[in-house]
Amino acid sequence: MSAPDVRGAVLVLNAGSSSLKYQLLEPHSAAVLASGIVERIGDDDAGATHTAGDETAEFHGALADQHAALETALSLFRETGIDLGGAGLAAVGHRLVHGGKDFYRPTLVDDGVVDEIERISDLAPLHNPVNLAGIVAMRKLLPDVPSVAVFDTAFFHDLPAAASTYAIDREVAQQYSIRRYGFHGTSHQYVSERVTEYLGRDATSVNQIVLHLGNGASASAIRGGKPIDTSMGMTPMEGLVMGTRSGDIDPGVLTYLQRVGGFDAAEVDTLLNRNSGLRGLCGENDFRTIDRLISDGDDNARLAYDVYIHRLRSYIGAYLIGLGEVDAITFTAGVGENSPTVRADALDGLSRFGIHIDAERNTLRSKEARTISTDDSQVTVLVVPTNEELAIARQAFEVVEGQ
Ligand code: ADP
């Protein structure tokens, strides 16, 4: 097969602590021209797999850092006939986890923006520095292609003050930029816009709840296209029970662990980020395994599931009240798109609130946006696959086109 025409396409990068995921997309048609993942960055046995149409390429070996990972990705592109350096690429779109107070729009990256992102990296020490390393490497490797940073917090920048403010000493909050920022914003925005499109309604007339249930999980309440609340806070740890994160927890537990258990900040961080949530409760964080364990009669898996659903229902309840009237509740991301059991249990027994799931529709498998409520359900319940890469590609394209 001949190499695809990549003029006007956008390369979307999601640089993680030990992995780099990328997609080359055509922002208008949503066509994915190539994609790949580099894993175990920093190890001697790093690996990369890359696909472009029918062509595939692989790498195995040592990769020191994001720069080396990106260099490898670009050479895999060349192996499949795509030279990104001279191809007329429109932009590179970078996923940035934390935008702090000041970044709330997709932003064309220049040296000043790099410095500013560096300055706020303490807000998301696990994510922002490595996201930034991706930007710095890309600007060196493809100096003629504009880089655009798309922030996971952006959609929630204008949350009402009542929802974004923690009830702590105002001066402390101000000094340390402590507020509820919200995350997964690219997904909540993309999915909520797809919902209004799907319903054939004007965004300003739709009240909706979006449940992004992946390995990380968050909920949002959106009134007329604008979020009025979301479950993640200053960091992505607040809110729902997640694969490996606790979600909401009494902050007294943390000071107790420091005082009585001798935990330091790094140990608390590891406990709450990596060894909590579903994994903390039952040793597993993948719902497919948890489902199997529950069928085998595993009590810990059952409890993990019950805690997960209990928390999810609390947020749904809060957002039903927060919005007053709700037109749509939408499930998205790995668990939300694939687990009919979670969807059914999350909304079980809510007919009094106008919510009726259709059992048969709920169990149908599909990659498309679909309704899973009954025809007479007052609230439309939907499954809408998220596509953060496409959303980033489109936002990055708009920025460079507007230059
Ligand atoms: P991430 O937050 O890493 O982007 P995803 O949105 O890809 O996560 O979701 C990953 C999670 O989705 C997995 O950990 C697993 O729990 C869940 N998942 C994926 N496929 C299925 C499935 N067929 N049934 C139930 N859960 C699934």
Tell me, in angstroms, the distance from the centre of ligand 1 to residue 399's CA: 31
Give yes or no for residue 288 CB within 6 A of ligand 1: yes
Give yes or no for residue 374 CB within 6 A of ligand 1: no
Residue 334, annotated ligand binder?
A: yes
Residue 362, annotated ligand binder?
A: no
Number of domains within the chain: 2
Answer with the one of 91, 121, 151 that is the final residue of a domain: 151
**Residuewise pLDDT in 10s, the chain (403 residues):** 567 788 899 999 999 888 999 999 999 999 999 999 999 999 999 999 999 999 999 999 999 999 999 999 999 999 999 989 877 899 999 999 999 999 999 999 999 999 999 999 888 888 899 999 999 999 999 999 999 999 999 999 999 999 999 999 999 999 999 999 999 999 999 999 999 999 999 999 999 999 999 999 999 999 999 999 999 999 999 999 999 999 999 999 999 999 999 999 999 999 999 999 999 999 999 999 999 999 999 999 999 999 999 999 999 999 999 999 999 999 999 999 999 999 999 999 999 999 999 999 999 999 999 999 999 999 999 999 999 999 999 999 999 998 8
Report yes or no on 103 lying in a domain: yes
Same domain, 300 and 372: yes
Same domain, 210 and 358: yes
Give yes or no for residue 338 CB within 6 A of ligand 1: yes
Report yes or no on 73 lying in a domain: yes
Answer with the one of 91, 119, 151 that is the final residue of a domain: 151
Same domain, 278 and 368: yes
- Ligand 1 atom with the smallest distance to the CA of 290 is 16
DSSP string, 147-210: EEEEETTGGGTT--HHHH--SS-HHHHHHTT-S---S-HHHHHHHHHHHHHHHT--GGG-EEEE
Same domain, 369 and 303: yes
Q: Which two tokens stand for residue 100?
A: 């702090």
Identify the bridge partners of residue 383 per DSSP, sorted by sequence position: 331, 370
What is the pTM for the complete model shown? 0.95
Same domain, 125 and 17: yes
Q: State how far the Cα of 122 lies from the Cα of 246, in Å rounded to an integer.
A: 21
Same domain, 217 and 76: no
Report yes or no on 125 lying in a domain: yes
CA nearest to 12, candidates 123, 100, 134, 104: 134
Same domain, 75 and 133: yes
CB neighbour class for 301 (10 Å; exposed up to 12, middle 13-18, buried from 19) = buried
For residue 100, what is the domain's CATH number? 3.30.420.40
Q: State how far the Cα of 96 lies from the Cα of 83, in Å rounded to an integer.
A: 25
Q: Mutation test of ligand 1: which of 237, 242, 288, 363 has the most ligand atoms closer than 8 Å to its C-beta?
A: 288
Q: State how far the Cα of 73 lies from the Cα of 345, in Å rounded to an integer.
A: 42
Same domain, 136 and 277: no
Same domain, 103 and 205: no
Same domain, 259 and 322: yes
Q: State how far the Cα of 244 lies from the Cα of 297, in Å rounded to an integer.
A: 22
Q: State how far the Cα of 64 lies from the Cα of 135, in Å rounded to an integer.
A: 16
Report yes or no on 402 lying in a domain: no
Question: Domain of 295?
Answer: 201-388
Give yes or no for residue 340 CB within 6 A of ligand 1: no
Same domain, 127 and 234: no
CA 53 to chain CA centroid, Å, is: 26
Report yes or no on 134 lying in a domain: yes
Same domain, 226 and 364: yes
Report yes or no on 397 lying in a domain: no
